[in-house]
Amino acid sequence: MPKSLSSGAGQQPHDHLLHRLHDLQSRFLHIPPLEIAPLATELDLPVSQVESVIDFYSFFHRSPRGRFDILFSNCTSCGGLTLMQQLCGLLGVQPGVTRADGMVSIDQTSCVGMCDQGAAVLVNGRTLVRLTAAQLPHLAQLVNTATPLDEWPADWFAVQDNIRHAGLLLNDTLSAGDGLRAAVQAGADQLLAEIRQASLRGRGGAGFPTAMKWQFCRDATAPEHYVVCNADEGEPGTFKDRVLLHSYAQQVFEGMALCAYVIKAQHGFLYLRGEYRYLVPSLEATLDAMRTANLLGENILNQPGFNFDISIVLGAGAYICGEESALLESLEQKRGVPRVRPPFPVTHGYLGQPTVVDNVETLVAAVHIAVHGGEWFRAHGTAQSAGSKVFSVSGDCTAPGIYEYPFGISVQDLLEACGGQDAQAVQIGGPSGTLIGRAEFGRKLAFEDLATGGSIMIYSAQRDLLAVVRNFTHFFAHESCGFCTPCRVGTPLLRKYLDKIASGHGTVYDREEMARLGKLVKRRSHCGLGQTAANPLLDLLAKFPQVYAERLLHQDYEPFFNLDAALTTTRELTHRDDAEAHLS
């Protein structure tokens, strides 16, 4: 863990359970059982809480990983599972099994947010991008010679911004403190009025009016108020927050300070997904510079009593922690399980205190509104979706990357801008969003039509859409928190149905049962994850029914039990994989 995480002005990150576990994981390559009880005692937590957190987050392990732990993204945009198999071959390992000499382990992980520059992998938590098959022998040699990561070719780790089209926010050059200076001059009431005037809506996907959220929180009386920036960005295909955090971090933090000014918060947290750990040093440097410039800390800009500071908390591989109440649980050093609502975070958030949780981009927009006013912002976009949207565009197009356009741009126009005109389908808003085919490319990207947190994944005619949807369905089953029955049991069942259909063993009955179950999971789950997990397979059914029909068996019934698959263990034990060892 970078030492810098222990800063943060009197707040707890140094002792945060997640940080201590990251630390143990990197020192011992797993969480040694004997470390658990002492850690619990030291942090004054029940031992069961430490145990349950270890088993909840993907990046903590019970048995040692290799000295080089290599995780391949399995996203449809930045994934490289073929490369993973090749590297496994070169290094003589099985996915998920640490090599006998302890040198290397290779596995897959959910989207790492490098969809514009895949294939992407994490090596000991560090992000390596644009990996190609040609590099693999070199990489294998570096592993076998135990070459420290700092001596690996630096350009392998060079994450690019890839801003292809800048608009309202990304083009606007502001100096550090512009937003805060404008705000303290106008006062908190006026700032809130401008945000309301701007009709700013949350950029994290749900589109809740930001001014209303800040107002509710400000109106809630309590000893403390908190601002949390949601930088969990786990939706496959989304990477715009990564770019904002890399090149516009000052504005992200300033947006948090603006919110703090309005709701009278003294502490803020940036909850950063573990996959973006490489950004921590630069983010900490930005925080330090802001403290020096009196844009954070005590009496900010000489306003008596305007005290606010920010600390960074690093997640550990759990998509659900992007859901705001699960995020708060995670901040509170627990499993990321979404809370029952009401009450909502604006009144009962972090440690039960009123809390605003806002997306990275929402906070950046707030800074520009503070400087230029609400009218300026509202002059862009559509009536119901004011301003611009930063899109993360990836998949089958000539120029994947960041595109900022006013809300209301059509899918077709965006496809033309990025060289994705040959698409047969586009997934809007990531797996939890909407799958559309060519007939719908005239639709608009806006809250009132196709709402999106920013993920645009493009699929050309060469893609097998069933494979895409199967990938998404596996993703949700892997990321379900396990709290409620419909999602905990339903998502693995949906995965079973899709696997069966994709392998050519599904019948019409299976497809119908899958759809029935999908609707139940969608309608009855506790949180947004379960409520959207069936979207891909239901959308595919509604819009591309032939994709299923082509794979179905023409018989009434086929059992789930697969005799050939059942022989897998026997084949492994007997070291046989020849034709005779398989049925049919």
Partner 1 sequence: MSNTLFIDGQEIPFAPGQTIMDASLEAGIYIPHLCHKPGLTPHGSCKLCTVEVDGRSVSACTLPAAAGMKVDNNTPALQEVRKTLVQMLFVEGNHLCPTCSKTGDCTLQALGYHFGMLDGHFPPFYPRREVDASHPDLVLDRDRCVLCELCVRASREQDGKNVFAISGRGASAHIIVNTSSGKLGDSDLTLDDAAAHICPVGAILPKNHGCEVPFGRRTFDLHSVAESDVAHVGLQKTEHHDE
Ligand X SMILES: Cc1cc2nc3c(=O)[nH]c(=O)nc-3n(C[C@H](O)[C@H](O)[C@H](O)COP(=O)(O)O)c2cc1C
Give contact residues for partner 1 (rule: CB under 8 A).
36-37, 46-49, 51-52, 54-57, 318, 335, 340, 342, 477-486, 488-493, 496, 517, 520, 523-526, 560-561
Q: Which is nearer to ligand X, 106 or 357 (CB)?
A: 357
338 interacts with ligand SF4 by CB under 6 A: yes
Alpha carbons 548 and 510: distance in angstroms, whole number: 11
Alpha carbons 117 and 145: distance in angstroms, whole number: 27
Q: Which is nearer to ligand SF4, 469 or 529 (CB)?
A: 529
274 interacts with ligand X by CB under 6 A: no
DSSP count for the chain of H helices, then E strands: 23, 14
**CB of 526 vs partner 1, minimal distance in Å:** 7
* Of 291, 289, 359, 367, the residue nearest 327 (C-alpha): 359
Helix, strand, or coil here: 5? helix
Helix, strand, or coil here: 45? coil
Partner whose binding site includes residue 258, from ligand SF4, ligand X, partner 1, none (CB under 5 to 8 Å by kind):
none
Whether 87 contacts 94, CB under 8 Å? no
Whether 458 contacts 565, CB under 8 Å? no
Q: Segment contacting ligand X (CB under 6 A): 15-23, 109-117, 219-227, 353-361?
A: 353-361
Partner whose binding site includes residue 318, from ligand SF4, partner 1, ligand X, none (CB under 5 to 8 Å by kind):
partner 1
Q: Segment contacting ligand X (CB under 6 A): 275-283, 496-504, 522-530, 575-583?
A: 522-530
From residue 506 to residue 525, the character string flagging contacts with ligand SF4 as x (rule: CB under 6 A) and all else as - is: -------------------x
Give strand pairing partners of 268: 227, 310
| CA angle at 258 for the pair 193 and 308, rounded to the nearest 5° | 140
Which residues 6+ apart lie within 8 Å of 82 measured at CB? Answer: none
| CA angle at 457 for the pair 453 and 463, rounded to the nearest 5° | 155
205 interacts with ligand X by CB under 6 A: yes
481 interacts with ligand SF4 by CB under 6 A: yes
Give strand pairing partners of 280: none
Give strand pairing partners of 405: 389
230 interacts with ligand X by CB under 6 A: yes
Q: Segment contacting ligand X (CB under 6 A): 123-131, 197-205, 400-408, 492-500?
A: 197-205
- Taking the alpha carbons of 519, 521, 525, 528 in that order, is the dihedral positive or negative? negative
Helix, strand, or coil here: 263? helix
DSSP class per residue in 175-222: -TTHHHHHHHHH-HHHHHHHHHHHT-B-TTTT--BHHHHHHHHHHS--
Judged by CB under 6 A, the number of residues near ligand X is 22
Please identify which residue in 107, 254, 323, 329 interacts with ligand X, judged by CB under 6 A: 323
**CB of 559 vs ligand SF4, minimal distance in Å:** 28
362 interacts with ligand X by CB under 6 A: yes
Q: Which is nearer to ligand SF4, 338 or 429 (CB)?
A: 338
The residue count for the chain: 584
- Report residue 449 as tokens: 């039509």
Distance spanning both ends of the chain, measured CA to CA: 52
451 interacts with ligand X by CB under 6 A: no
Partner whose binding site includes residue 305, from ligand SF4, partner 1, ligand X, none (CB under 5 to 8 Å by kind):
none
Partner whose binding site includes residue 128, from ligand SF4, ligand X, partner 1, none (CB under 5 to 8 Å by kind):
none
Partner whose binding site includes residue 36, from ligand X, partner 1, ligand SF4, none (CB under 5 to 8 Å by kind):
partner 1
Partner whose binding site includes residue 46, from partner 1, ligand SF4, ligand X, none (CB under 5 to 8 Å by kind):
partner 1
527 interacts with ligand SF4 by CB under 6 A: yes
From residue 284 to residue 323, the character string flagging contacts with ligand SF4 as x (rule: CB under 6 A) and all else as - is: ------------------------------------x---
- Taking the alpha carbons of 287, 293, 298, 303 in that order, is the dihedral positive or negative? negative
Q: Which is nearer to ligand SF4, 385 or 525 (CB)?
A: 525
* Of 258, 143, 144, the residue nearest 194 (C-alpha): 258
Alpha carbons 205 and 168: distance in angstroms, whole number: 19
Please identify which residue in 8, 118, 125, 202 interacts with ligand X, judged by CB under 6 A: 202
Residues of this chain that bind ligand X (CB under 6 A): 202-206, 208, 230, 232-235, 320, 322-324, 357-359, 362, 527-529
For binding to ligand SF4 (CB under 6 A), which residues are involved? 320, 338, 480-484, 487-488, 525-527, 529-530
